[in-house]
Structure formats: structure tokens, C-alpha cells
Structure 1
């Protein structure tokens, strides 16, 4: 996935629990290994299964992760690798 510097995108985690347990979501972002960027990973706003991630203002590769838990020991994680690219140029 690619996004321009400073832009936002909505991210949704679609998951179900086989026992019907209520699920909690913990979102995080980190710089991808080998990325030449600083530690700026942008920002995540919102909570639950759907959040908005705003890209940093510098080019980088960021991993946005979600940890889903059913509160009874069942967990799952998913990662999205996002390339933050230079913005559009208008002359």
C-alpha cells in the first residue's frame, strides 16, 4: 500500500470470534526494518475495529499493526506495510 506524506487513510479490521466473545483492538505503528526514515510513524486516531492513520511528513515505510483479543486468552495480530511517498507536486 502507498500513501502520500501527511495524508490520512481509514483502516478497518474485520474479524469474528468463534465463541462470540467481545473483542478488543490495540493499534500501533512502527518504522519498518531497513527503513531509512526517522522514528516518525505518523498518528493513529480512533479506537475499536476502525481507525484513521495519518502518514508522517517524511518518506518512510511504516508497519501499522492491530492486536485483537477476546479477553479469554485468544489473540491474533495483523500487519499492514505502508510506503509513505513524496507528495504531489503542482507547478
Structure 2
């Protein structure tokens, strides 16, 4: 419930959202303090690549600072289908 509350606290989701809690792509080294693990910071550039799919590049920002997504999933799907 706390994760859902946080996801809803600073975002606008015109069509709802899916909360995914993990990834196969994660740094394994401690970032600053030994034993404290790794977390991204604002301004970090994250690249995930696959030879067959290409590279996804995102700059880390906060939910408050990111522009709201107002288009909605239906418009996104129509745009992708038109390509």
C-alpha cells in the first residue's frame, strides 16, 4: 500500500499505471558507503542495451521534476502502430 501511495503522490497517470518492483539490470557495487548498496542520483544517465533491440537511455530525475505524461496509453499505442 505504501508503494502505491508513493506512486500516486507526485504523478499524473491518465490511464493508470503498472508498478514493477525489480529489474534484471542493476548495479551490484556499493555506490558510496560499503554495505549500503547502490541507488541512482538525479542527473545519472542510465543505459540499457541489447544487440537485437538497441539502447534505451534515460537521465534520472525526480517524479516532481519530470513533466507529467498527459498523452495516455491509447495515444501512445496509436502513435507506435502508425510507425
TM range (shorter): under 0.3
The structure whose Rg is larger is: 2
Alignment TM-score, normalising by the size of structure 2? 0.23
User: Which structure's residues are more often strand, by fraction?
Assistant: 1
- The one of the two structures with greater contact order (alpha-carbon pairs below 8 A, sep at least 6) is 1
Alignment TM-score, normalising by the size of structure 1? 0.22
